[in-house]
Homo-oligomer: A and B are copies of this chain.
Amino acid sequence: MNAGADTAHGQSKPQVTFWPEGDRVAVSPEATLLDAAKLAGVDLASPCGGDGLCGKCRLVVRQGNVSAQPTSLLSREEIRSGYVLGCQTIVTGDVEVEVPPESRPAAAQILIDLDAQRFRALHPVAETVEGHSGALTCKLYLELSPASLDDSLSDQSRLFREIRSRHPAPIMQLGLKVLKDLPRLLRGAGWKVTVTLGWRGGTLEVLQVEPGDTSARNFGVAVDVGTSTVVTHLLDLNAVKRLDAEAAYNSQRQWGDTVIRRIFHAATPAGLDELQKSVVGDINRMISVLAERNHVALHDITAITCAGNTTMIHLLLGLDPGPIRKAPYVAASTSAPPVRAVEVGIQINPRGLLYTVPNIGGWVGGDITAGILSVGLRRSDAVQMLVDIGTNGEIAIGNRDWTITCSSSAGPAFEGAGVRNGMKAMHGAIERVEIGPGDAVHFRTVGGTPPRGICGSGLIDLVAGLRAAGFIDRSGHLVPGSTRRIRESDGALEFVLVPDSRSETGKDIVVTQADLSNLLSAKAAIYSGMQVLARAIGLDFRQVERVYIAGGFGNYLDREKAIAIGLIPDLPTEKIRFVGNTSIHGADLGLLSVDAWQEMNAIAEAVTYYDLINYPDYYDEFLAARFIPHTDLSQFPSVRQPRDVEARV
């Protein structure tokens, strides 16, 4: 808690105190409560970046002077109780505010995201890289023959000769720093040393030389840099296995929830630097936790692979993402060279390398490259499809001969953003919902704890359930009078999923008409994207042998319900496979195997990007897909229409 020192010297600066912590900060005139929270180090949710759009930075004013902009994101009841949006409220004098629990970003409250915990069981890495070609970095223990008059090769050449006798290395590199230490080190170690080698393009670099045999300990980190969540794996590069996982929200959220908002922030002075430091901080915190929990020294982590969408990778490397935003959507780099991890601030071995999975284009990133590798799309004769539902929806279709991809602006509704009570699949998130009989609502939360909100899989269940019960119509509108749970609030309809008495927050958990509209837009974007991409190459869904659904929520998704709402095509369920986070799985594979890494480079080179805008009737297809399941019911023959209920409307 800050002492009141500021009052003594700065009468003119209003003070803001945040409760329950009591953190106090003096702010400049025109500062908002959100600005004050940032200054005070108070962690406040702000997915829209302070534009007054998401309604997440809710605060309760206990006493003092503020000037709040009108907003439709708070109910009259809430406004009467003192609720304000932090970003829309200017501090005009000393003020005391309370931070309600639901305004805390959930990341601060969990140790391990369940995505990560659950993912540990999936994708047994060792199996996938059987007969693997060696990791991107490896350690070799060498017992050099000491120099003699008959064999007076230089230290460097002696080292290279021994390495080459054990390892294919057409072009070898060595930094001046390593070379400088070499004479003393070799002699001090009695010519018995361990070299760490790292692939850089087509060359092999001697990253470090250590005395004695340290080859037993060589670790790597794989990261999925998601727009909303960052998942980090610790891998044992010798044992070719994943040891542990961590996940956290991407701290860049404070500047906005979407890729576009991050690009806007990157264009402000210091914005790019702030974004880079922010995500690097997230990664460092996770690495630190993983290293400590698994008794691994940071020094023994010699490589890190990162997969993410093109913008996330730009921000990680400190590259300007600006041109990605506007046509022709060009990246600075889709295949950045490996760099020393420390160059971007990542704290592993100071000579360790950071590899970014090559991107396919401005709007199809390395996460999809990794996904295509992970599901083996380019090893199959039959046509397969990969759909990655994250903050955007990226789609790939193809086989070993050809592959095309597109990106659909699905938005982050299935990640809980743009939905009043939406949240990630963490403790307290409603992940399964059944409606009926009647208007009874059965739900299950992640971790079985009292409900705090609803996550992606819960939302799909909910929409399917609402439709089956006839509580919404085919266009997703709530049907007034169909159940007592539908009520009007501030002039709009909402469905009460959990009453305040049963929720952890002490407030009703609802889904609003606006939420439903966002969800239907998101699912329409994904379905129409799949449809248009298939049609663009003259294919029908029936010709697709398998559809892989990737994404954080994928593991709990109910295939039939996802079909019922028209999110994915109406195919036999055995053709649909949920594959979880394929981005990090690809990053794992590439780290553990140079062959896999090279395959990702080949994928990024070979895959063609298709811009949905090029398809003549794309927007019509999108609108048709906004219905449940679709305007054209013949595309969903297996989906039973709730005729009985329909009749009631």
* A201 CB-CB contact with B under 8 Å: yes
Q: Which residues of B contact A333 (CB under 8 A)?
A: 154-157, 179, 182
A324-367 residues at the B interface, CB under 8 angstroms: 327-337, 339, 343-344, 359, 361-362
A173-204 residues at the B interface, CB under 8 angstroms: 173-176, 179-180, 182-184, 187, 200-203
Q: Which residues of B contact A202 (CB under 8 A)?
A: 170-171, 202-203
**Is the beta-carbon distance between A176 and B328 smaller than 8 angstroms?**
no
Q: Which residues of B contact A329 (CB under 8 A)?
A: 149, 152
Q: In whole angstroms, how far apart are the Cα atoms of A172 and B335 in the complex?
A: 12
| Smallest CB gap from A340: residue in B | B176
Q: In whole angstroms, how far apart are the Cα atoms of A323 and B184 in the complex?
A: 9
**Is the beta-carbon distance between A183 and B335 smaller than 8 angstroms?**
no
**Is the beta-carbon distance between A328 and B149 smaller than 8 angstroms?**
yes
**Is the beta-carbon distance between A156 and B335 smaller than 8 angstroms?**
yes
* A488 CB-CB contact with B under 8 Å: no
**Is the beta-carbon distance between A171 and B201 smaller than 8 angstroms?**
yes
**Is the beta-carbon distance between A154 and B320 smaller than 8 angstroms?**
no
**Is the beta-carbon distance between A179 and B323 smaller than 8 angstroms?**
no
Q: Which residues of B contact A330 (CB under 8 A)?
A: 147, 152-155, 158
Taking the closest CB of chain B, its distance from the CB of A335, in whole angstroms, is: 7
Taking the closest CB of chain B, its distance from the CB of A66, in whole angstroms, is: 40
Q: In whole angstroms, how far apart are the Cα atoms of A269 and B439 in the complex?
A: 84
Q: Which residues of B contact A171 (CB under 8 A)?
A: 171, 201-203
Taking the closest CB of chain B, its distance from the CB of A613, in whole angstroms, is: 9
Residue of A183, A328, A343 with highest tally of chain B CB at under 10 A = A183
* A165 CB-CB contact with B under 8 Å: no
Q: Which residues of B contact A201 (CB under 8 A)?
A: 171-173, 203
Taking the closest CB of chain B, its distance from the CB of A194, in whole angstroms, is: 19
Given contacts A153-B330, A327-B149, A337-B173, contact A319 B203 (CB under 8 A): no
The interface bits of chain A over 123-161 (1 if a CB of B lies within 8 angstroms of the residue's CB, else 0) are 000000000000000000000000111011111111000
Q: Which residues of B contact A172 (CB under 8 A)?
A: 201
* A609 CB-CB contact with B under 8 Å: yes
Q: In whole angstroms, how far apart are the Cα atoms of A394 and B611 in the complex?
A: 67
* A423 CB-CB contact with B under 8 Å: no
**Is the beta-carbon distance between A176 and B336 smaller than 8 angstroms?**
yes
Q: Which residues of B contact A173 (CB under 8 A)?
A: 200-201, 337
Q: Which residues of B contact A179 (CB under 8 A)?
A: 317, 319, 332-333, 336-337
**Is the beta-carbon distance between B334 and A183 smaller than 8 angstroms?**
no
Taking the closest CB of chain B, its distance from the CB of A570, in whole angstroms, is: 33
Q: In whole angstroms, how far apart are the Cα atoms of A176 and B316 in the complex?
A: 12
Q: Which residues of B contact A450 (CB under 8 A)?
A: none
Q: What is the interface residue range for chain A against chain B?
A: 35 or more
**Is the beta-carbon distance between B328 and A155 smaller than 8 angstroms?**
no
**Is the beta-carbon distance between A334 and B154 smaller than 8 angstroms?**
yes
| Smallest CB gap from A152: residue in B | B328
* A318 CB-CB contact with B under 8 Å: yes
**Is the beta-carbon distance between B332 and A155 smaller than 8 angstroms?**
yes
**Is the beta-carbon distance between B361 and A152 smaller than 8 angstroms?**
yes
* A322 CB-CB contact with B under 8 Å: yes
**Is the beta-carbon distance between A149 and B319 smaller than 8 angstroms?**
no
Taking the closest CB of chain B, its distance from the CB of A358, in whole angstroms, is: 10
Taking the closest CB of chain B, its distance from the CB of A620, in whole angstroms, is: 21
| Smallest CB gap from A203: residue in B | B203
Taking the closest CB of chain B, its distance from the CB of A604, in whole angstroms, is: 10
Pick from B155, B157, B337, B344: contact of A174, CB under 8 Å: B337
Q: Which residues of B contact A182 (CB under 8 A)?
A: 332-333
| Smallest CB gap from A614: residue in B | B149
| Smallest CB gap from A156: residue in B | B333
Q: Which residues of B contact A184 (CB under 8 A)?
A: 320
**Is the beta-carbon distance between B332 and A609 smaller than 8 angstroms?**
no
Q: In whole angstroms, how far apart are the Cα atoms of A168 and B640 in the complex?
A: 63
Pick from B154, B176, B180, B328: contact of A147, CB under 8 Å: B328
Q: In whole angstroms, how far apart are the Cα atoms of A188 and B174 in the complex?
A: 36
**Is the beta-carbon distance between B318 and A180 smaller than 8 angstroms?**
yes
A457-503 residues at the B interface, CB under 8 angstroms: none
Q: Which residues of B contact A148 (CB under 8 A)?
A: 328
Given contacts A149-B327, A201-B203, A203-B201, contact A180 B320 (CB under 8 A): yes
Taking the closest CB of chain B, its distance from the CB of A601, in whole angstroms, is: 12
**Is the beta-carbon distance between B157 and A335 smaller than 8 angstroms?**
yes
Given contacts A154-B335, A201-B203, A330-B154, contact A176 B317 (CB under 8 A): yes
| Smallest CB gap from A344: residue in B | B176
**Is the beta-carbon distance between A319 and B362 smaller than 8 angstroms?**
no
Q: Which residues of B contact A203 (CB under 8 A)?
A: 171, 201-203
A359-401 residues at the B interface, CB under 8 angstroms: 359, 361-362
**Is the beta-carbon distance between A320 and B183 smaller than 8 angstroms?**
yes
Taking the closest CB of chain B, its distance from the CB of A268, in whole angstroms, is: 15
Q: In whole angstroms, how far apart are the Cα atoms of A319 and B149 in the complex?
A: 21
Q: In whole angstroms, how far apart are the Cα atoms of A550 and B370 in the complex?
A: 60
| Smallest CB gap from A310: residue in B | B154
Q: Which residues of B contact A322 (CB under 8 A)?
A: 183
Given contacts A170-B202, A173-B337, A336-B176, contact A183 B152 (CB under 8 A): no
Residue of A156, A170, A203, A330 with highest tally of chain B CB at under 10 A = A330
**Is the beta-carbon distance between A323 and B187 smaller than 8 angstroms?**
yes
**Is the beta-carbon distance between B176 and A343 smaller than 8 angstroms?**
yes
Q: In whole angstroms, how far apart are the Cα atoms of A172 and B336 in the complex?
A: 11
**Is the beta-carbon distance between B187 and A154 smaller than 8 angstroms?**
no
Q: Which residues of B contact A335 (CB under 8 A)?
A: 154, 156-157
- A sample of 7 inter-chain contacts (CB < 8 A) reads A149-B611, A152-B328, A154-B362, A157-B334, A176-B344, A179-B317, A180-B317
Considering the complex of A and B, which 8 residue pairs feature the smallest CB-CB distances, nearest first?
A156-B333, A154-B331, A154-B334, A147-B330, A152-B328, A171-B202, A183-B332, A149-B328
14 other contacts beyond A152-B328, A172-B201, A180-B317, with CB at 8 A cut-off? A149-B329, A154-B333, A155-B330, A155-B333, A156-B334, A157-B333, A157-B334, A173-B201, A176-B318, A179-B336, A180-B318, A180-B320, A183-B319, A183-B323
